[in-house]
Amino acid sequence: MSLLEVRKLNVAYGRLQVLWDINISLSTNNVVGIIGPNGAGKTTLLKTIAGTIKPLSGEINYMGQKINGLPAHERVKQGIVYVPDSSGVFGKMSVYDNLILGAYLRRDQLNETLKFVYELFPTLHERRNQRADTLSGGEKQMLVIARALMVKPKVLLLDEPSTGLSPIAVKNLFTSLEKLLSTTDLSIILVEQDVGRALKISKYVYLMEGGHVRDEGPSNEFSKVEKLRKFYVGA
Ligand SMILES: Nc1ncnc2c1ncn2[C@@H]1O[C@H](COP(=O)(O)OP(=O)(O)O)[C@@H](O)[C@H]1O
Ligand SMILES: [Mg+2]
C-alpha cells in the first residue's frame, strides 16, 4: 500500500494553473524521483504535498487518510517535511542552533535525534559551533537535510539538493542519503536536476513538463529510454 498518494492534483497561482491532474505514489522506505526542466511545476508539487500551497482540486492521501485539510505544521508533525535548497539555512545561527530550531515541533528524544544526525553528517558535528553562513554549499545542504531530520520525518520532500554543489559534495550527499535509507524506514520524493543520480537512487521516476506528468516508470528501465536523453540533451 502507498504511504503517500497524490490523485488528480490541480494547482494554480491566482488564475494561472501550473499543475494538471498529477498522480504520484510513494511507498514506505522508497525513493521516487521527479525530473523535468525548470518551470515544470516540481517545486509547486512538493509544496502542495507539504501543505504550504492549497490545490484547486485533487487528493493527497497519507497513511490511508486524506490530508488536504491539514495545515503545513500538522503535516510536519505527522512526518511530511519539505526540504528547501541550501539557502534555507539560518546563516547567523550556529549549526547546532539550526538543528535545535528544526526540532521545535518534536522535542522528544532530542539528544538521540541529534546524535543520529551528527553520525550521519560528521562534518556538521565538527562544525556544530560554527555560524551556518560560513559553511560550504555542500555542508549547508547537509544542514537543511539534517534540520529536517530533527522532526523524525517519515517522508522527506527534497527539492534539488545537488544544485550548486561541487561533484564531490554531490557524491557525499548521495552517500549520506543512501545510508539514511538503509538505516531508517524513511521515504523520499526527490526532485533532482542530476538525472543520473536521481535514476540511480530512486526505484520509480516521474518526468514532469509544463505542469503535467509526461512519462513515468521504474528508474532502471527509464534510464534506457532514448526519449529521456533527447529530452535533456535536446537532440
Ligand atoms: N509564487 C508563484 N506565483 C506565481 N507563479 C509561480 C509561483 N511559483 C512558481 N510559479 C510558476 O509556476 C510554474 C511552476 O514553477 P515551479 O513549481 O517552481 O517549477 P520547477 O520547480 O519545476 O522549476 C512556473 O511557470 C512558475 O513561473
Ligand atoms: Mg523548483
Cα–ligand 2 centroid distance for 112 (angstroms): 33
From the CB of 18, is ligand 1 less than 6 Å away? yes
Cα–ligand 2 centroid distance for 191 (angstroms): 8
pLDDT tens-digit map of 200-218: 999 999 999 999 999 999 9
Cα–ligand 1 centroid distance for 149 (angstroms): 26
> Is the predicted pLDDT of residue 49 greater than 80, yes or no?
yes
- pLDDT bucket at 109, cuts 50 / 70 / 90: confident
What is the Cα Rg of the chain in Å?
Answer: 17
From the CB of 46, is ligand 1 less than 6 Å away? no
- Answer whether 180's CB lies under 8 Å from 172's CB: no
Return d(Cα 155, Cα 224) in angstroms, integer.
28
- Which pTM was predicted? 0.93
Amino acid found at 182? S
From 16, 22, 44, give the residue whose CB has the most ligand 1 atoms within 8 Å, as the site to mutate: 44
From 11, 13, 35, give the residue whose CB has the most ligand 1 atoms within 8 Å, as the site to mutate: 13
- The CA-atom distances, in angstroms, between 164 and each of 81, 149, 175 are 22, 22, 17
> Atom 24 of ligand 1 has which residue's CA nearest to it?
39
From the CB of 38, is ligand 1 less than 6 Å away? yes
pLDDT tens-digit map of 130-172: 999 999 999 999 999 999 999 999 999 999 999 889 999 999 9
- The CA-atom distances, in angstroms, between 182 and each of 64, 100, 134, 158, 177 are 24, 25, 30, 17, 9
pLDDT tens-digit map of 64-91: 999 999 999 999 999 999 998 878 899 9
From the CB of 86, is ligand 1 less than 6 Å away? no
Ligand 1 atom with the smallest distance to the CA of 46 is 17
Return d(Cα 75, Cα 83) in angstroms, integer.
13
Higher pLDDT, 6 or 111: 6
> Is the predicted pLDDT of residue 129 greater than 50, yes or no?
yes
> Atom 27 of ligand 1 has which residue's CA nearest to it?
39
pLDDT tens-digit map of 16-47: 999 999 999 999 999 999 999 999 999 999 99
Note the pLDDT of residue 133: 95
From the CB of 201, is ligand 1 less than 6 Å away? no
Domains located in the chain, CATH noted = 1-79+154-163+184-235 (3.40.50.300)
Q: What is the mean pLDDT of residues 42-68?
A: 97
Note the pLDDT of residue 188: 98
From the CB of 207, is ligand 1 less than 6 Å away? no
- Answer whether 26's CB lies under 8 Å from 218's CB: no
Give the number of the ligand closest to the Cα of residue 84: 2
Higher pLDDT, 33 or 110: 33
